[in-house]
């Protein structure tokens, strides 16, 4: 089933990470967790163009170092091997050796060069991988291009997530159908640049790695880097894109007439996964979207939007259906962006709370009713310039404390 998103983009309702031509996936229970899938792989039929961004934590985990080493050889990837339950972070030389061994085992299983394998891990920090279970699990992986195989992979990467995050779009380039598939995990420790999240995107577009990296870098700041759940940044996480080139379009470059269409489609894929991560924040009941206009620049608008959506006081007010716009003012007030304190407008949904920094009369009952929705929009106009930006997050609930108080036990 297809649903039109715009004149140029449609969402494929049953599509997934394996919908683009040339990709297969698999996920199995290797025993790293009690019962659920915990080891997965994405395979491309041939070496694919690739691009990646990584956590900016000072403590980058071993899998990230291995993945960066792989990509540095010829800027190509053919497989991504992923485990949950153990982050393999802050594990010293042994952890790095294990990540390289994980890469080697995957390469031998699928008869591809080691440098064409990326490695990703997510889970508890400071614990070593059980390499016997990893080795046995890799032997069980049998990638297929099927709905069930895609779901097996998607469930294998989850930790405290309650739902899978997946999306598939199609667009037309050079008269050829180009497909984008995505899968992601992330629920807590979300405050990129990147945070505790993994996101994998596949496409069959024909594009070189250099141009794919440029396209990716141009949209990651306004998508994945604009979500926050709890203000915490982790050690492991990354976004990886692979392009098989099998759609048959002319090679995409910034000079291609459909370049902006490609970039826009990639951005939409990232944005969908980012919003799904924010909505599934640990213990969350609501997705919060903050839209800032009238800032001095787009960058400053994004700073303020993320400051608001990351405020614990805003998040708890939304959870409690309390239309306390003072929490929003508080968040704006200690941002690093330029603000005219005498000329700010604030909306909660369609309801005007503040006009030119003057309180407006509104119905508490109407505001409370609006705040009971699953998606809450907060609008801000700074009346300084033309900058605009959006950020996504979630409410903060009692369950967040329960989940994180017992994460290891």
- Helices and strands (DSSP H and E) totals, the chain: 11, 16
Which stretches of the chain drop beneath a pLDDT of 70?
A: 1-2, 4-5, 7, 160-162, 187-196, 229-233, 280-283, 400, 403-409
Q: Give Cα separations from 253 to 58, 210, 226, 248 (angstroms).
A: 33, 9, 26, 15
Q: What is the DSSP letter of 249?
A: P
Position 195 scores a pLDDT of 40
In this structure, the number of other CB atoms found within 10 A of the CB of residue 371 comes to: 20
* Cα Rg, the chain, nearest whole Å: 22
Asked if 291 and 400 touch (Cβ cutoff 8 Å), the reply is no
**Does the domain made of 287-405 have the CATH classification 3.40.50.300?**
no
Q: What CA dihedral angle connects 16, 166, 37 and 133, to 10 degrees? A: 80
CA 373 to centroid of chain Cα atoms: 23
CB half-sphere exposure, 62, CA atoms < 13 A: 26
Position 404 scores a pLDDT of 63
Position 281 scores a pLDDT of 62
Q: Where are the domains of the chain?
A: 2-268, 287-405
Q: Give Cα separations from 232 to 57, 145, 187 (angstroms).
A: 10, 36, 11
Asked if 393 and 314 touch (Cβ cutoff 8 Å), the reply is no
Task: Tokens 């997510």: give the residue.
Answer: 122
CATH assignment, 2-268: 3.60.70.12
Asked if 45 and 244 touch (Cβ cutoff 8 Å), the reply is yes
- Start-to-end CA distance of the chain, whole Å, equals 42
Three-state DSSP class for residue 171: strand
Tokens coding 34: 């009690």
Q: Which residues are catalytic?
A: 196
Position 192 scores a pLDDT of 46
In this structure, the number of other CB atoms found within 10 A of the CB of residue 207 comes to: 28
Burial grade of 406 (CB within 10 A; 0-12, 13-18, 19 or more): exposed
Length of the chain: 409
């Amino acid at each position: 089933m297809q649903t039109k998103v715009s004149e140029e983009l449609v969402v494929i309702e049953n599509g997934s990470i394996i919908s683009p031509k040339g990709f297969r996936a698999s996920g199995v229970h290797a025993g790293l967790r009690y019962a659920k899938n915990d080891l997965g792989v994405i395979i491309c039929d041939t070496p694919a163009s690739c691009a990646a961004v990584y956590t900016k934590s000072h403590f980058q985990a071993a899998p990230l170092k291995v993945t960066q080493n792989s990509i540095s050889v010829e800027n190509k990837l053919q497989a991504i091997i992923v485990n949950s339950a153990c982050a393999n972070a802050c594990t010293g030389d042994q952890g790095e050796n294990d990540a390289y061994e994980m890469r080697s085992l995957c390469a031998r299983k699928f008869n591809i060069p080691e440098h064409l394998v990326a490695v990703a891990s997510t889970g508890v920090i400071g614990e070593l991988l059980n390499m016997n279970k990893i080795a046995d699990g890799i032997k069980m992986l049998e990638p297929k291009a099927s709905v069930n195989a895609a779901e097996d992979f998607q469930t294998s990467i989850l930790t405290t997530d309650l739902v899978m995050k997946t999306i598939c779009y199609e667009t037309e380039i050079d008269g050829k159908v180009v497909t984008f598939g995505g899968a992601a995990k992330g629920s807590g420790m979300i405050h990129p640049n990147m945070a505790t999240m993994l996101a994998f995107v596949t496409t069959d577009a024909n594009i070189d790695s250099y141009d794919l990296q440029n396209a990716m870098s141009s949209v990651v700041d306004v998508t994945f880097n604009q979500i926050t759940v709890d203000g915490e940044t982790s050690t492991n996480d990354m976004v990886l894109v692979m392009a098989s080139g099998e759609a048959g379009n002319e090679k995409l470059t910034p000079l291609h007439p459909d370049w902006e269409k490609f970039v826009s489609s990639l951005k939409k894929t990232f944005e969908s996964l980012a919003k799904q991560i924010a909505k599934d924040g640990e213990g969350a009941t609501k997705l919060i979207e903050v839209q800032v206009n009238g800032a001095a620049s787009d960058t400053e608008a994004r700073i303020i939007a993320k400051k608001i959506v990351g405020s614990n006081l805003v998040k708890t007010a939304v959870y409690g259906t309390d239309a306390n716009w003072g929490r929003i003012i508080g968040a704006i007030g200690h941002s690093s962006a330029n603000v005219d304190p005498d000329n700010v407008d604030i909306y909660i949904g369609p309801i005007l709370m503040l006009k030119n920094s003057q309180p407006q009369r509104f119905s508490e009952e109407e505001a409370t009713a609006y705040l009971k929705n699953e998606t809450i929009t907060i609008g801000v106009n700074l009346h300084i310039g033309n900058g605009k930006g959006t950020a996504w997050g979630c409410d903060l609930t009692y369950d967040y404390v329960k989940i994180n108080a017992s994460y290891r036990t």
